[in-house]
Amino acid sequence: MSYTEIERQWTTRLRRRFVHLLPPEKLLPDTQPTYVSSWIYVFGVTTLSALVVVIASGSLLALRGPQWWHTSSVGHFVNSLHLWSVEIFFFAMVVHLWGKYFMAAWRGGRALTWMTGVVTFLTSIAAAFTGYVSQTNFDSQWISTQAKDGINATGAGAYFNVLNMGQMLMWHILLLPLAAVVLTALHVLLVRIKGVVPPFEEHVEVNA
Amino acid sequence: MRTKRFRPDVDVAPWKGGHSPYDIIKEGTIALVVVGLLTLVFAVVFGSPDEPAVTIKTWSNATPVDFAVTALSELNQTSGSAMYGAPYNNASVGQKLGPLELAKWVGARVPVNTVRDFVINPLKSLPDQPVLTADLRQWSKASASTRALWLKDYTKASANLKVVNGQVTVSANNAGPVPVFINDLTQMAQTGALDQALVTQSEFYTTNFTLPLLFLADGSYLSNLAQHQHLSGDQWGMMNELGNYPGQAWLWLYTFWYQIPPFNSSANADVLVWGLMMALSVVLLLVPFIPGLRSIPRKTRIYRVIWREHYQGSAEE
Amino acid sequence: MPFTHVAALLPLDTLGHYLHWHFIEISVANFIVIVLMVATFITALVAPFPGRRRRKENQ
């Protein structure tokens, strides 16, 4: 192959683009701007860590099937890990959202970072909902028979049947976690690409 | 050259200040360990709720009259499921978002016929029932108007429906096979056979519980249990979990609308609340582009607490 | 793993406690979670963050 041919390859172009956008020292930085000096900044990584624990505990639950936890104390304990990691996940995510809002973290071309965060939040709510209706107990019976009215009223109930446990379980353990992980990855990569938003300037020249 | 106007809620001045060492992998590891430990502690201390599922067997044994009355409502098509509309049937227009009949437009793609699916087909699956078999034949040969007359007679008498020694007793003399249907279905339910018949229908494997869940939800037993646990819609139930476990606090705004007018008395409450929450979600998504909303952080000056070290440093300079 | 055979130390299975204020009804559990979230947010804003001297040196 000639040099020009190599340059034109998809692989070469994609690699060059990615490395230009996110060189290793930007992907895994070893410094931060000095204004990153508040405990409010830990809630993003806390949310991410909680997501890891949610997925890990969910994976353990998957090992023995959806009804294992009803008859096994080990299974019930794993279910408890899954429940509490979800509570911590939402707790941290909402505190993170409050912090980012009051920092106006969308400034400086970071609107997409904000938007991916919001979509991840909404996707997480959907993931939690499908989890609740996959419990195969009284809770899932009640939640599904109630939620059906809201979802049916939009027309979506014709295709997304919350009373169909098999469908809900598959959305919960595959489709929605995949969406949440991809969205989270995009969100985190955007933070790395754009950097952490600087403080508001107290004195700014506003030119005509 | 004209410089672009600086919009303080949209733009940032490039950072010309210093950087300090930061160990991102270490931070991530510490966060993971802390969250892992917290999760472990909560799981060990508090566990998680697991209230066993209600079966039609449990329901029909605990409150046989409620079951029998519900079974009648499935047969005379006055139950919630029978009159639901899309996606189960075309019995009603369903909810409307202004002029939009969203559910109706999509149609009945999860077909449920309560007469066939909740009563006739399950009864047909019972073996060695000569009286029932004859009655089922009588029903299938009858005209719609004859069936309606039978049902009208039984329904009128059902106000005094009782279950005595395992038998459903109603004083209805012109109700054709209906008394046998209701009695036999109640007994079938009490053995657990109806749970199985509703789930398996014509299939071996199934993970779709649409029929038994709709039947359960048509009765009062499930909702009374939920009411007892503060899980009803009018109890902010969407946010709640069983017992003293924390629930879904993040659904506070979604369930809030159901508690206030006009939603709390509207027949279209579900679609109205969905529409409103979708709109608010779009607003949240587009905050960076909404003047006013995106100015609140700068105007409330909470950022001065977050970045106080930076501002103190700038002031010193 | 011995603890897997032990039920939760303080199971929260008893009937829930609820707070009522006008039309607002909230479980004590959810109320505690929300209060903790607000308290955590405020604490995160005001609590001193370590490494101040190092950052001053790097400015």
Give the chain C residue whose CA is nearest to the CA of A34. Answer: C55
CA atoms within 13 Å, Cβ hemisphere of A203: 3
Cβ contact B240–C30 (<8 Å)? yes
Cβ contact B48–A79 (<8 Å)? yes
pLDDT tier for residue C3 given thresholds of 50, 70 and 90: very low
Residues B72 and B215 in one domain: yes
Q: What percent of chain A has pLDDT over 90?
A: 94
Cβ contact A39–C43 (<8 Å)? yes
Which of C10, C14, C52 is closest, CB to CB, to B46?
C10
Residues B66 and B206 in one domain: yes
Cβ contact B236–C13 (<8 Å)? no
Q: Which of C55, C56, C57, C58 to mutate: most A Cβ within 10 Å?
A: C55
Cβ contact C33–B259 (<8 Å)? no
pLDDT for res C4: 37
Residues B174 and B280 in one domain: no
Q: Which residues contact B153 (CB under 8 A, 6 or more apart)?
A: B172, B173, B174, B175, B178
Neighbours of chain C (3+ CB pairs under 8 A): A, B
Q: Is the Cβ–Cβ distance between B240 and B231 less than 8 Å?
A: yes
Cβ contact B27–A139 (<8 Å)? no
- The answer to whether residue B250 is domain-embedded is yes
Residues B201 and B244 in one domain: no
Q: What is the pLDDT of residues B58-95, one digit of tens each?
A: 999 999 999 999 999 999 999 999 999 999 999 999 99
Residues B73 and B145 in one domain: yes
Report DSSP letters for A173-203, one per residue.
IIIHHHHHHHHHHHHHHHHHHH-SPPPPPSS
Please list every residue in chain C whose beta carbon sits closer than 8 Å to the beta carbon of residue A196. Answer: none
| Residue written as token pair 């090992």 | A63
Gap from C26 CA to chain A (nearest CA, Å): 17
pLDDT for res C55: 74
Longest CA–CA span in chain A (Å) reads: 71
Q: What is the pLDDT of residues C5-44, one digit of tens each?
A: 447 888 888 888 999 998 899 999 999 999 999 999 999 9
pLDDT for res B220: 97
Q: Is the Cβ–Cβ distance between B305 and A40 less than 8 Å?
A: no
Q: Which CATH superfamily is domain A41-194 in?
A: Cytochrome Bc1 Complex; Chain C (1.20.810.10)
Q: Which residues contact B213 (CB under 8 A, 6 or more apart)?
A: A141, A144, A145, A163
CA atoms within 13 Å, Cβ hemisphere of A58: 23
Residue B76 to residue B151: CA distance in whole angstroms = 6
Residue B282 to residue B279: CA distance in whole angstroms = 5
Per DSSP, the three-state class of B158 is helix
Region B120-145: mean pLDDT is 96
Q: Strands A31-33 and B19-21, how do they pair?
A: antiparallel
- Tokens encoding B55: 């079966």
Q: What is the DSSP letter of B100?
A: B
Annotate B179-205 with b (16+ C-beta within 10 A) or e (fewer).
bbbbbbbbbbbbeebbbbbbbeeeeee
Find the domain containing B260 and state its range. Answer: 229-285
- Which residues make beta-bridge pairs with A33? B19
pLDDT for res B202: 62
For residue A196, how far is the Cα from the chain centroid?
18
Gap from B272 CA to chain C (nearest CA, Å): 20
Residues B196 and B272 in one domain: no
Gap from B184 CA to chain A (nearest CA, Å): 25
pLDDT for res A174: 98
Vertex C41, ends C32 and B258: CA angle to 5°? 50
B115: how many CB neighbours lie within 10 A of its CB? 17
- Tokens encoding A22: 């996110």
* B-C contacts at Cβ under 8 angstroms: 94
Residue B73 to residue A170: CA distance in whole angstroms = 33
Residues of chain C whose C-beta is under 8 A from some C-beta in A? Answer: 1, 3-8, 33, 36-37, 40-41, 43-45, 47, 49, 51-52, 55, 58-59
Rg (CA), chain B: 30
pLDDT averaged over every residue in chain B: 94
Residues B90 and B119 in one domain: yes
A87: how many CB neighbours lie within 10 A of its CB? 24
The series of mean pLDDT values per 10 residues for chain A, 208 residues long, is 86 95 94 95 98 98 96 97 97 98 98 98 97 97 96 96 97 98 98 96 56
Residues B219 and B259 in one domain: no
Interface of A with B in 102-141 (CB under 8 A): 102-104, 106-108, 110-111, 114-115, 118-119, 122, 125, 128, 132, 135-141
In this structure, which long-range contacts are made by residues B194-197, counting pairs with CB atoms below 8 Å and at least 24 apart in sequence? B194/B56, B194/B57, B194/B60, B194/B122, B195/B55, B195/B56, B195/B57, B197/B121, B197/B122, B197/B125
> Based on the number of CB atoms within 10 Å of its own CB, is B53 exposed (0-12), middle (13-18) or buried (19 or more)?
buried
Instruction: Check whether B101 has a pLDDT greater than 80.
Output: yes
User: Where in chain A are the domains?
Assistant: 41-194
Cβ contact B216–A141 (<8 Å)? yes
| Residue written as token pair 């105007």 | B299
Q: Is the Cβ–Cβ distance between B184 and B178 less than 8 Å?
A: no
Q: What are phi and psi of B167, to 5 degrees?
A: -110, 135
Residues B170 and B233 in one domain: no
CA atoms within 13 Å, Cβ hemisphere of C36: 13
Domain count, chain B: 2
Which amino acid, residue B80?
G
Q: Which residues contact A41 (CB under 8 A, 6 or more apart)?
A: A99, A196
